[in-house]
Every structure is written in C-alpha cells, then in structure tokens.
Amino acid sequence: MSENIDQYLKSEYSAGWITDIESLTIPPGLNEDVIRLISAKKQEPEWMLEWRLKAYRAWLEMKEPEWAHVVYPKPDFQALSYYSSPKSMEDGPQSLDEVDPELLRTYEKLGIPVHEQEVLAGVAVDMVFDSVSVGTTFRQKLKDAGVIFCPISEAVHEYPELVKKYLGSVVPQKDNFYAALNSAVFSDGSFVYIPKGVRCPMELSTYFRINEAKTGQFERTLIIADEGSQVSYLEGCTAPMRDENQLHAAVVELVALDDADIKYSTVQNWYPGDAEGKGGIYNFVTKRGIAHTRSKISWTQVETGSAVTWKYPSCILKGDDSIGEFYSVALTSNHQQADTGTKMIHLGKNTRSTIIAKGISAKQSSNSYRGLVKMNPGAEGARNYTQCDSLLIGDKCGAHTFPYIESKNPTAVIEHEATTSKVSDDQLFLCQQRGIDAEKAVSMIVNGFCKDVFRELPMEFAVEAGKLLEVSLEGAVG
Amino acid sequence: MLNINDLHARVEDTAILHGLNLEVKPGEVHAIMGPNGAGKSTLGNVLAGRPGYEVTGGTVTYKGSDLLELEAEDRARAGVFLAFQYPVEIPGVSNMEFLKASVDAIRTARGEEAMSSMDFIKLAREKCKAVDLPQDFLKRGVNEGFSGGEKKRNELLQMMLLEPSLCILDETDSGLDIDALQVVARGVNALRSPDRGIIVVTHYQRLLDYIVPDYVHVLAKGRIVKSGGRELALELEKHGYSWIDEEVA
C-alpha cells in the first residue's frame, strides 16, 4: 500500500513539475511583482523576498558603470525576461546532427566524449541515470565529512541560519549595479559549507552538481569555510557552453573564517561571438572573498570566453596574517573585450597578497588588466607582490594595464612588475625551422607565458586549460 | 643534394645576393667565408625560408625538388637545419618540451612513429652529455638566460637530435671561447656522414682548424668569387679579405 502511495506521489510530483514548466511565462521586464513571482516560484521564506526587494530598490537608484575599458551596446533591462523556466527538452536539438558543426569541431579538439558533447550542446538526452549515480556516491562521501554542497535555493530552505548570516556579507546588495541586479533576481547557484577543522575530501566541482545545467544567467554562489577547514572549488568547464541568454551577472561570495583555506578555480569559456564579433555573452561578475585571521583565499582563473568580460575576483584581508592570491590568464581574440583583474584590500596586520596576471590578446581584441592594491592604516607590515604581463599576437590587438595602488601604512611594502611582449617573428621562425608549424608554435609560446598561472590550477584543469588556449588561438597567426 | 643556381635575394629593399652558385653533394663539408656584409647569413636564412628574405631570381634544388616552394617548417621536415647565429629565447617553454615537439614533428613528417617520452628523455640526456651541457638545461626555458656559448651548444644539441640531411651553421663560432669551439667542432664532426651535407658559414679560419672542410668558398658582394680547398682558408687568414675585394674589383 505504502509503495503504491509512493508511486502515486512520485508521478504526481513529476507530472506537476512538467505542467509547471510548460505553463509558466513571465513577460519581459523587471518590477517588484516579477521579483515576488520569482521568490514565490522558489517558495522562498519572507526574509529572502525582503532581501531581494531591498536589492531591487537599491538597483533602481544605481547606474550601469562605464569606467571599464569596454564598448558594447547597453542591455535594455526592461526587455529581458527574469524568470525563464527550464526549456522543455523537445525544444532543443534532438541529436548532434542538428548542432552547429563549428561547435562540434571544437568539442572534438578538446577531446570531449560524445555523451558530454550532447549534454553541453543541449541535446535531449536522458542524463538521469548518470547524474543520480555519480551524485549519490559523491553526496554520501561529503555527508560523511559533514560538508554541505547543494543548490543555494535548497540552502535557503535547509540552512536558513547560515544563508541569512552570510549571504550579502561579502558582496552587499548595493555593492554595484550588477551585484544589486543579481541579488534581486538570482536564479540559482552553489552553496558550500565546510565545518570546523574539516578538510573537504574532494575537489568540489559544479560539474557534479545536480541541476547544474539550469542555473540561469544570474548565478549566486556562497562558500563558507569554517575555522581551520579547507576546500578547493572548481567552477566552469573548458567546453564552450551554448546559452541563449546574452547577459550574465553572477555573484560569488567566499568566507574564510580563522585558519581556513579556500581555493577557487575558474575556467570560463562562454560563447565569445563569431569572428565578426556578433553575438557572444556579456559576463559581468562580482567575486569577492573575506579572509579572517591566518586564513587564505586563492583565486585562479582562466578566461577565454565571452564577448565582454568585466570581472575582478577580490580579497578583503581582514584578519591578521591572512593571505590573498590571484592568478589569472585572460585570453581575448577576434572582437572580444576583457577588463579583468583583482582587488586586494589589506586591513589586518602582516597580511600578504600575490597577484600574477597574464593577458593575451590576438586579432582585433582588447585586453585590460585592472587591479587595486590597498593598504589600510591598520595593515602594519603588510606586503603585496604584483606581476602583470601582457602578450600580443599580431598588430591589431590591444593590451592595457590599469594598476591602482593606495597605501595608508608606511610599513607596508608593495611591489609591482609589468611587462608587455609580442610573440616575435624570430620566435616563430625558430620553431618553424625546427619543424613545428606556426599554430602549434604560438600555442607553445602562449602556454609557456602562462606557466606561472597554470601551475596553480588543479592538475586536470591545467591540462585542459592548455588545450583550451590552443583551440581559442586557432587562426590567430596570419 | 643541394644545387644553388644564380640565386638573387633581398632583405626589405636591399639586394644582397647577386647570382650565387653552389653545389653540395652528400658527405661534403663546405665552408663559406667572407667579409662582413657579404651575404653569408642571408644565404642560410634564404635556404631556411625565413620571412622577410625575398628571392628575386635563380633556383635552389634540394634532393631533386624546388626548395623555394616549401614553407619554412616543411623545409625543416625535409631535413634542412639552420643553426642560428643569434638563437632567440622562448620564456616559459622548457627546452625539453620544445625539443620533443620538434622531434615529433620531424619524425611524423618522415612517417616514423612519435617517440615515447621515456625514450626521448633518455636520448636527450645522452646528447646533452655529448655537447657538454648539464642535464638541467633540458628543464630550463628555451635559451632563457643562456650564455652565448650555451646557446650555440643548444643549437648543436638540436641538430644532433633532429639528424638533418643538410646542416647550415651560421657563424656558430662567433662569441665562443676555444673550449666551447672545440666542443661544437667535435659535435659537428660526429655528424659528418656519407649521406649528410654540411655548410659552415664563418668569418674566421679558426673554426676550420677543427672542422676540416672539403671545400672553401669566398663570398663577397653577394656572389661566390673564389672556391678552393682547405688551403684557401689559410690564405685568407694570412692576407685578409681586402685581397679578395681587390681581385673582384
């Protein structure tokens, strides 16, 4: 009998779910009713709705920032739809035969298995068995360690105290235009909590998170590492992702409590637009971590995608002896524009930060590094080391560096090194004279240039990142 | 193996080679000497297909086919090797990685299988020893922070690994002390074989004490103006290049 009820409940649930997605339509535009509707759809508690509304009201007063070194038509925020229910699988391509051959060619070069290609290209495949089995073993292992890793929408219900305490504690709702927008309408994202003294037994990857495919354009991630804990989080995927949403505005908040250690690695390869610069994702991201006493936050990113990137993963070094690191490779080609860098805000005594930023520009692209190193009056004995290198391929691209340094403590030490170089004809000829063709030569030279950053990536990611650069630079040598 | 007939070439707007003729048969070592600005380096770069070096007349036949038709990397794959006078640095790319990519590309072109990493490392270490380079050179960036002598020995190391059919050494002796010179000469001599042609481009006779050539040619004003045996080099040493200039004029 009870089995029958279970059966009944299950089918009811799934049927309800299907009806749900098919019937739901929200007209474009943003107002308080839309936010109430999003919140209601997620059956959020009242406090969450209030939090979103507060963000929305702040956003109304704000202007889209224009200081970045990027040019693009400003999105019409009233023309966007802020709740896109998951698209029915029938709307997508039914097999790989219907997928853009150019995309498939790229998958092939990256060595992605056919099954994963289907998922990435949005082909209607039954993923259930795979993800359930992988997900279950994975979750069990984390559960045994006491680690919480779930969609943030779930955390709002399951762990409201943690969410209430930390959501917006690093990136407040009013922080900036895109962060405010994200706070008002965020779709979903990851929630991670590592308990005191626990070393997370595995690298956490969005790849394994159930529902990953539908996080939408306003992703929100919150990672809390409690005292003395340790976690490494991998975000993204080397494969270019198909996505019909042009605007992406994500927020990531990291909280490293005393003696905790968070390593956050990103490979970003959203659709960059075609060779003429048409299409492509606008990626406006706010990522920030707060480091308490003796804790460490390390950002590593490999950015090759998106038409426009606006992104500054930052560290607030609040606790004494805390450490912040930023390792970045940003590659732009065709008409891509990237304005990316970091902020290291030193508040505590003897805080240390390291910035290694490598920018590569090819074709007509524009690549800017923008970084702030700030030593507050309390940052006694603090140190920063910044190394910022640009590599140009061809003579139509641009590389720009905008370093900002503010020091209010005379004992603080700040070092800044910057270089700009070109892949020279002589280097190319040396390679060719040794039988290596020009494209392989460029990829080898670029990978050599990025070595200091790739070293920081988890092993598997590093190999993929190298391959990704090679594919992204195809045709960059004339 | 190599037949250069009435070769004319220029770099940017300056004509440098004016009707150069040269024939190299397998097993032969040819030394090309001449004053500064005679076109010695241009010859090596034209043969290797360096961009910016434009052939304006004449033919170059290599192993029976038109060498000038080929892209630079295809010439290398066909066995043409140029040891650079000024090897450039490629920061961050380890010598080992570079050498492996090079050997792989050339073996693939020859229809041979790529070497396993283990076999390659073994071979590379062995060749390092032969040119008197410590093994940690394989881990360092290509020519990154190498001294002049180390760069030249690194060129020789590459030559030994790639086993080309035609070796062109462009002033490999410049900037070398006598010990390094002997190491380089020993390496080149080890590569002498009945099926390999070697062209040694040099300003000084000194190198030819160690690499004894079969033929010596004097290059002046973009042409070979005098050819002879080993003794021609000694004569040049004694009388200098002005003597040639007078004779040509």
Q: Determine the straight-line distance between the first and last CA of chain A, rounded to whole angstroms.
A: 72
Q: For residue A280, what are the CA distances in angstroms to A246, A272, A306, B153?
A: 7, 4, 6, 49
Q: Do B93 and A448 touch (CB under 8 A)?
A: yes
pLDDT at A267 over 80: yes
A12 — pLDDT class (breaks 50, 70, 90) = very low
Provide the CB-side half-sphere exposure for A350 (13 A, CA).
Answer: 5
- Identify the residue with better confidence: B2 or A219: B2
A206, two tokens? 């969005």
C-alpha B74/C-alpha B45 separation (Å) is 14
- Identify the residue with better confidence: A18 or A318: A318
A99 — pLDDT class (breaks 50, 70, 90) = low
C-alpha A453/C-alpha A356 separation (Å) is 7
Nearest CA distance, A451 vs chain B (angstrom) = 6
Residue A122 has a pLDDT of 53
CA angle A385, A391, A327 (to 5 degrees): 35
**Averaged pLDDT for residues A401-428:** 93
Given A425, A426, A448, which is nearest B141 (Cβ)? A448
Residues of A in contact with B90 (CB under 8 A): 427, 430-431, 444-445, 448
Residue B114 has a pLDDT of 84
Least-confidence region, from A14-18, A75-79, B74-78: A14-18
Those residues whose C-beta lies under 8 Å from the C-beta of residue A154, and which sit 6 or more positions away, are: A191
Nearest CA distance, A261 vs chain B (angstrom) = 29
Q: Are A404 and A375 in contact (CB under 8 A)?
A: no
Residues of B in contact with A430 (CB under 8 A): 84, 87-88, 90, 142
Residues of A in contact with B52 (CB under 8 A): 425
Q: Are B197 and B1 in contact (CB under 8 A)?
A: yes
Residues of A in contact with B82 (CB under 8 A): 433
Which residue in this structure is represented by tokens 């707060």? Answer: A290
Where do runs of H (alpha helix) occur along A97-209?
Answer: 101-110, 114-120, 128-145, 152-158, 160-166, 177-185
Q: Do B73 and A438 touch (CB under 8 A)?
A: yes
A25 — pLDDT class (breaks 50, 70, 90) = low
Least-confidence region, from A145-154, A244-253, A329-338, B214-223: A244-253
- Indicate the average pLDDT of chain B: 91
A345 — pLDDT class (breaks 50, 70, 90) = very high
Q: Are A123 and A151 in contact (CB under 8 A)?
A: no
Q: Do A451 and B48 touch (CB under 8 A)?
A: no
pLDDT digits (tens, 9 = 90+) for B11-67: 988 999 999 999 999 999 999 998 888 899 999 999 999 999 999 999 999 999 999
Q: Which residue of B has its CA nearest to A444?
A: B93
Q: Are A285 and A248 in contact (CB under 8 A)?
A: yes
Given B87, B91, B97, which is nearest A430 (Cβ)? B87
Q: How many CB pairs under 8 A join A and B?
A: 80
Long-range contacts, B10-14 (Cβ 8 Å, 24+): B10/B53, B10/B54, B10/B56, B11/B42, B11/B52, B11/B53, B11/B54, B12/B52
Q: What is the DSSP string of A302-362?
A: EE---SEEEE--EEEE-STT-EEEEEEEEEE-TT-EEEEEEEEEE-STT-EEEEEEEEEEE
Q: How many CB atoms lie within 10 A of CB B234?
A: 14
By the CB < 8 Å criterion, does A410 face chain B?
no
Provide the CB-side half-sphere exposure for A280 (13 A, CA).
Answer: 26
Residue A117 has a pLDDT of 63
Our CA dihedral for A289, A290, A294, A295, rounded to 10 degrees, sits at -30
CA angle B179, A430, B137 (to 5 degrees): 45
Do the interacting molecules here have an ipTM over 0.90? Answer: yes
AA identity, residue A134: V
Nearest CA distance, B37 vs chain A (angstrom) = 20
Q: Do A445 and B98 touch (CB under 8 A)?
A: no
